[in-house]
Chains A and B, each alone.
Chain A
């Protein structure tokens, strides 16, 4: 097993990675909540070179009707990569990969949302990857849970998500593109910090049992940090306004009858 062979020295003699990170170091993460005006909730995530936008609509009337569940809401996620998000133009539109990611993210979010509060509705989550550099599903899930909270959707907790993998026989956290392409394994994970549940777990490549355990622990630690950044992003959204109100005098009226 292993990724594409490469001349790259993925880990140097000092034990540092190509971008100078330590094996257990995450790329810098920045989250902003409430960035889109027309959506009920939204979030923007910059995670290393990844740039991801998430928008939430709903709970709203579920269409098509046959998908409605009389007992609970449906969390429908749509993951999409912009054609300019990668080096070679990505052919626009849904493909096998984006279907898969949409499905697993929906399932991860369904697990934390109180879907029983909104029978017969759907909560729609749109994840747009503007720039990709490995780990976009984690960035997408992280953004989506902030956007859900911003939309006021009742949920048990925010889902934090991060990946760990194996590169040059070392377990590393949060693989970047070159590491992902030429590494030996990649394992994205979605984690619910208050309950300690894992709501998303995938693995590409293979790890021994010890390596697997180490990767999980690394992910859990990282997810706790990510969770703090998520909470901070949500609080900041209202804190700034509370300090210095700058209301526009010109009214913008929505939905005039």
Chain B
């Protein structure tokens, strides 16, 4: 699973300063990273989030917000409309995403889109391109991309996705290992889980816990403990 915006995940900083829009972050000398803006040589926060200071730049890791597609993102979409040569996919963002027949792994004749995917189907896609007016192109032609059958989909805030994945995928790996579920995490905040019902419930609870406490320290340990407790009770 590819990972973007991983920085803050489980860094063991003692203090995590919460900033709100308009807060002065630095007088000068650093690059204004994501979630910030500079004006008159000063850097201010543009979003509510956690302040992140690096040697050369300063940024704000947001605590909330919509999913804005970026090229290469892995997302979980839902088919909401069908055209003669494309499917319209809801990717939980302000922008609709048409999936053209040329971008799927099958050969689809004109007007036969319905034979392949129906409204309500869940698909694993990647963002193939985003232009300057945010028209989105999605593709299903890459390793592992497909229609997802079975399992269930839950939604978390897209800003919490990096926490669900964890540093270098540590959190999600632990979740998979300890629950035995198959899990896909989309950058758009949708998470697909498949496995035993009990294990799915366990995983959903753990993800909910990650979402609620995304900004607290030592999260991985807490989640680990939570998952271990559960397995003891069952035994």
Taking a contact as CB atoms under 8 Å apart, the answer to whether A41 and B94 are in contact is no
Contact among B23, B133, B155 with A70 in the assembled complex (CB-CB below 8 Å): B133
**Count the A-B residue pairs with Cβ separation under 8 angstroms: how many?**
133
Size of A's binding interface in residues, CB under 8 A: 50
- Name which residue of chain B comes closest to A33, CB basis: B48
Taking a contact as CB atoms under 8 Å apart, the answer to whether B18 and A235 are in contact is yes
Residues of A within 8 A of B95 (CB): 61, 120-121
Query: CA A103 – CA B25 in complex, angstroms?
Result: 32
Query: CA A60 – CA B211 in complex, angstroms?
Result: 22
B74 to chain A, nearest CB (A): 17
Residues of B within 8 A of A4 (CB): none
Size of B's binding interface in residues, CB under 8 A: 47
Taking a contact as CB atoms under 8 Å apart, the answer to whether A245 and B154 are in contact is no
Residues of A within 8 A of B53 (CB): none
A215 to chain B, nearest CB (A): 24
Does B201 count as interface, using CB distance less than 8 angstroms? yes
Query: CA A157 – CA B209 in complex, angstroms?
Result: 31
Taking a contact as CB atoms under 8 Å apart, the answer to whether B64 and A245 are in contact is no
Taking a contact as CB atoms under 8 Å apart, the answer to whether B22 and A152 are in contact is no
Query: CA A121 – CA B23 in complex, angstroms?
Result: 26
Taking a contact as CB atoms under 8 Å apart, the answer to whether A155 and B122 are in contact is no
Contact among B94, B159, B190 with A58 in the assembled complex (CB-CB below 8 Å): B94
Taking a contact as CB atoms under 8 Å apart, the answer to whether B94 and A118 are in contact is yes
Query: CA A189 – CA B193 in complex, angstroms?
Result: 51
Contact among B132, B134, B152 with A257 in the assembled complex (CB-CB below 8 Å): B152
Residues of A within 8 A of B154 (CB): 251, 253-256
- Name which residue of chain B comes closest to A255, CB basis: B155
Contact among A41, A117, A247, A250 with B213 in the assembled complex (CB-CB below 8 Å): A247
Residues of A within 8 A of B134 (CB): 118-120
Taking a contact as CB atoms under 8 Å apart, the answer to whether A158 and B20 are in contact is yes
Query: CA A151 – CA B62 in complex, angstroms?
Result: 10
8 contacts between A and B (CB under 8 A): A70-B133, A118-B68, A153-B47, A231-B23, A235-B20, A247-B208, A251-B204, A257-B122
Not counting A151-B65, A238-B215, a sample of 20 additional A-B residue pairs whose C-beta atoms are within 8 angstroms of each other reads: A41-B64, A58-B66, A61-B95, A61-B96, A70-B133, A118-B94, A119-B133, A119-B134, A120-B94, A121-B94, A149-B20, A150-B48, A154-B37, A157-B44, A158-B21, A241-B215, A245-B222, A251-B201, A253-B204, A253-B208
A interface with B by C-beta (< 8 Å):
40-41, 58-61, 70-71, 112, 114, 117-121, 149-158, 192-195, 227, 230-231, 234-235, 238-239, 241-242, 245, 247-257
B interface with A by C-beta (< 8 Å):
16, 18, 20-24, 35, 37, 39, 44, 46-49, 62-66, 68, 78, 94-96, 120, 122, 132-134, 152-155, 159, 190, 201, 204-205, 207-209, 212-213, 215-216, 222
What 10 A-B pairs come out closest when comparing CB atoms? A152-B65, A157-B22, A152-B64, A257-B153, A154-B46, A121-B94, A255-B155, A234-B20, A251-B204, A155-B21
